[in-house]
Structure 1
Amino acid sequence: MLPRFVNLLLITWLVMLAPVLKADTRVEAANQLRSGIAAFKAGDLKQARALLESAAELGMQSRALTYNLGVIYYKTGDFQSAERMFRQLLQTRQRTLAFYNLGLIALARDDNAGARAAFREVVDTNDSDNLTRLAAAQLERLGEKAPPPPWQILASVAAGYEDNIGLFPDEAASTIEDGFLESVAAASGYLYRQDQHGLILQGQGYAREYDSEDDFNSHLLRLDAKWEYRLDHYRLHAGIGGDKLWYGDKPREERARITTGMSTSACALAKERARCSLSAIAEHVSAGSRYSAYDGRHYRLDARYRARMGNWGGGLRYYLDYDDRRNLETEREYFSVSPLGQTLEFSTSYYPVPALEVGGVLGYRYNFYRNAHRLRVPEGTWIINRVDQRLSLGVNADYRINDTFSVVGGWRGILNDSNIPRYDYKRSTATLGITVLL
């Protein structure tokens, strides 16, 4: 009976003593932290590390302890432990500071790609002017221009000339050609941003006005909103958007869409600076009364790779389009406007001097119309699935006067080869204009 009573008394005493022991441990850990920081300021890194690790072993959980341990590990060359510490801060208000230090660790490891990704995160967050400037300077040293600010506005005006506006075939008796003025206004930025999350709004207006061929004038308004999630080298997004298009000063169609996709800077094949993306789009199209054949749905899968090494840049893009439209049927004929299209584009650019970019793009598109055309010909009725092969070639130049103004010019030619002769055509377009970036 006595041993049981002694055990009960001992347990009761330990339970009552536990808060006191715990409080003593917290006090000791706090003292170790203060002493460790003081040793670090005095330049005694070995003593500072021992004291801070002792505070951690006593169970102390503190962002200050985590950050200072990260700094000590970095200073003593223990980059693996330093990275582990700073990554623990990515979900806290010290996220930007943690990414800057992760960039320094990547530099120390000669991991330039990882350093760029970390410093870009600092610039993108833009919640600390000092860190933003430091990260932008690091990106410049790595040969990369700092990303644009969270809000960006672009406007451009160009004059141009087009030699086959109506896409008439080669055997047509005449074509329509004319000069035009083209203008673009676009704005994009974050409506909301916190940690890895952000809500991005993008708006765009476009207009092309011909000198005398008003029936071919086109105007477009576009608005998109997407939610973005950033995770190390990756960005994931999902969003909604809509378009309204006028053609010949009359409403042509409205589009409502949903989008999703991802992009990453961790896709370099060698030592180039690269960025890759994959996106999917689904659109519902409501066409005006004159264009009711285009009512329906449009889907696109889009994959891109863009890279730069030294003074050279290049890109590869593949996208797959699937259309499910109403199509056009008359009493005697049927026309499909629902192709399955595949496009492959290769682009290249060169910077002879930092302010001048010259480049070109080569593209090939294959369109197969799943629904057969039914056409009236002198021999009777011709039933055929339309197949188009389109080759495009473009050259362009962009001269930056300063960070705000650029002079841009370009030429693009298109050759469409169809198994239905009436859809064969050639077209070339030349433009020269000025762009303002804010």
Structure 2
Amino acid sequence: MRRSRFATFFIGLMVFAGVSLAKEPVRDPRFEAGVEAFNEGKLAEARVHFERARAGGLNTPSLLYNLGVVYFHLGQYKSAEAVFVELLGTPHAPLARYNLGLVKRELGQDLESRQWFEQAAGPDSPDKVQALAHRQLDGAAVKSPFDNVRGNGYLSAAGGYDDNIAGTPDDASSNQAGGFADLLAAGNVHIGTGAVGLHGVAYTRQYPSNPAFDNSYLSTGVSWLSGVGPGELTSTLSLASSWFGGDALEREVRVDAVYRPDQCVFSSMLSGIECSASGSISTIKGGNGYSAYDGEMLRLGASAEKGLGNWVLNGQYRFEVNDREDLTTQQEFFSVSPLRNLVSAEARYYLSGRFSLGGRADVRYSRYKDDHRLVSGANVVAERRTDNRLRGVLLAEYSLTRQWLLLAEWSTLNNRSTIERYDYSRREVMVGIEAVF
């Protein structure tokens, strides 16, 4: 079903692209490089060339069509929608309406999709656009519910070396080093109109020489998408379990909400920004021996992303509140209920459509709810724990095909605490391969 939709989409574009090019010849090397990359199936590279051409002042219908096609095929439906909307005030509006119908259908907005197809099928459209639109309308009328099942998945396998394996929680030092192997699989399925979806995530990290530090995570849930004001709200209910060293660590029930506005508050100052606001609340039950982690967690966050020529820039803020049972022994007390603020920034540069280099940095400040009580010699010392964690990451990615990607990553982490035992540094190197399908 997905392949036939793409075929119809490209047929619709190619029928009229020749007319547009004949009236508006384009002799921009960046545009021509984008067309060449597109014809070779290098969609990410084509996107970079077309975006550079547009940033350089080229804004013809031919460029917008091709850029919209690339966004659509890369699954960037909101960006594709924005491009095709720009064509509604041009002589190419009939085809733009048809393409918007396809975009809306991929977003699971079947009512809006049908409305665009009905407009494209109107008497003001050329005969070929009318025929394509009627074909979509007729097909929608006879589809079974299972024809609307859409999904995608992600798979990643990697290996590397960690010079200070993290204990539990991840801000505690083990002072042990070793190699590791990572495996991550994730997927989601949208059924019917696409408003409701199912998702799952499975992750494991194994340390062959230090199995006591092996950790795994499994999550499954259901989400629903709804229009709220000038944007979309995705709400998710999920169940998750995690294991450490083969023992059950936590079970979590979480409710998430992510809001993506059609237009960010920064758009009046800087166009092309995609942003979101998020929040979640969790109820957590610790496993046998980990009852100190029983409790609740609240998270609030915001993010923004901007493409700028060959650069993609991303920024994020997250606020976290933990209210856990904490750990009490006969003489000592350890708080595991931090209040946290995290700020992160990432920059990625595309040397070509296949190869990119990037860097990421984050700062996390943690202040724990109650004073720790620690035995020091013959005394019990009370001290409030606060941590400042700095992390830096360098990464490189190379696309083998449209689906497969090679990756390499190096990271360094430094945690400084008011309680000396929580001071530690950590470095990690990793190489792997990932696939999107």
* TM-score in terms of structure 1 length: 0.66
Aligned length: 316
What SS does the corresponding residue of 1:392 show, helix, strand or coil? strand
Structure 1: give runs of 5+ residues left out of the alignment.
Answer: 1-97, 111-115, 135-148
Q: How far did residue 105 of structure 1 move?
A: 1.8
Contact 1:265–1:274, Cα closer than 8 Å, also in 2: no
Match of 2:88 in 1: 105
Residue 353 of structure 1 aligns to a residue in which SS?
Answer: coil
Residue equivalent to 1:239: 236
Deviations 1:116-138, CA, capped at 9 Å, x for gaps? 9998535424978998xx9xxxx
Per-residue displacement from partner, 1:125-155 (whole Å, max 9, x unpaired)?
4978998xx9xxxxxxxxxxxxxx9411111
Cα distance in 2, alignment partners of residues 229 and 106 from structure 1:
28
Supply the distance in 2 between the matched residues of 1:174 and 1:391 (Cα, whole angstroms).
Answer: 18
Question: 2:45 maps to which residue?
Answer: none
> Which structure's CA Rg is the greater one?
1
Select 1:207's aligned residue among 196, 204, 218: 204
**Which position in structure 1 is the counterpart of 2:314?**
315
> How far apart, CA to CA, are the structure 1 residues paired with 2:86 and 2:105?
9
Cα deviation for residue 107 of structure 1 reads 6.7
Residue 204 of structure 1: CA displacement?
Answer: 0.6
- Counterpart contact for 1:317–1:345, Cα < 8 Å: yes
The answer for the alignment partner of 1:338 in structure 2 is 337
Residue deviations 1:200-228, cap 9 Å, x none? 22211001111210000011111121110
Provide the C-alpha distance between the structure 2 equivalents of 1:173 and 1:251, rounded to a whole number of angstroms: 20
In structure 2, what is the Cα distance between the partners aligned to 1:346 and 1:100? 27
Corresponding residue number in structure 1 for 2:189: 189
> Which residue is equivalent to 1:225?
222
Pairwise CA RMSD? 3.3
Are 2:245 and 1:248 equivalent residues in the alignment? yes
Equivalent residue, structure 1, for 2:391:
392
Q: CA 1:348–1:120 in 2, change beyond 3 Å: closer, same or farther?
A: farther
**2:276 is the alignment partner of 1:258:** no
- Range that drifts further, 268-277 or 386-395: 268-277
Residue 164 of structure 1 aligns with an amino acid whose one-letter code is: N
Cα contact 2:164–2:174 (8 A) shared by 1: no
Unaligned stretches of 5+ in structure 2? 1-80, 94-98, 118-128, 130-148
Contact 2:159 / 2:180 at 8 angstroms: preserved in 1?
yes
Higher relative contact order (CA 8 A, sep 6+): 2
Q: Are 1:282 and 2:281 an aligned pair?
A: yes
Distance 2:173 2:262 in 1: 52
Q: What SS does the corresponding residue of 1:176 show, helix, strand or coil? A: coil
Instruction: Quote the offset at 1:416 in angstroms.
Output: 0.3
Question: 1:150, 1:297 → 2: CA distance?
Answer: 34
Partner of 1:105: helix, strand, or coil? helix
Flag the 1:383–1:231 CA change in 2: closer, same or farther, 3 A: closer
What is the TM-score of this pair, normalised by structure 2? 0.66
Q: CA distance change for structure 1 residues 107 and 186 in 2, over 3 Å: closer, same or farther?
A: farther
Amino acid at match of 2:359: G
Residues 351 and 434 (structure 1 numbering): CA distance in 2 closer, same or farther, change over 3 Å? same
Deviation of 1:99 (Å)? 9.8
Relative to 1, partners in 2 of residues 1:345 and 1:280: Cα closer, same or farther, differing over 3 Å? same
Cα distance change, pair 333–120 in 1 and its aligned pair in 2 (3 A): same
Give the Å deviation of 1:284. 0.6
Percent of counterpart pairs with the same letter?
27
Letter in 1 for 2:158: A
Residue 155 of structure 2 corresponds to residue 155 of structure 1: yes
Measure, in 1, the Cα distance between the counterparts of 2:234 and 2:174: 48
Quote the residue 2:428 is aligned against. 429
Partner in structure 2 of residue 357 of structure 1 = 356
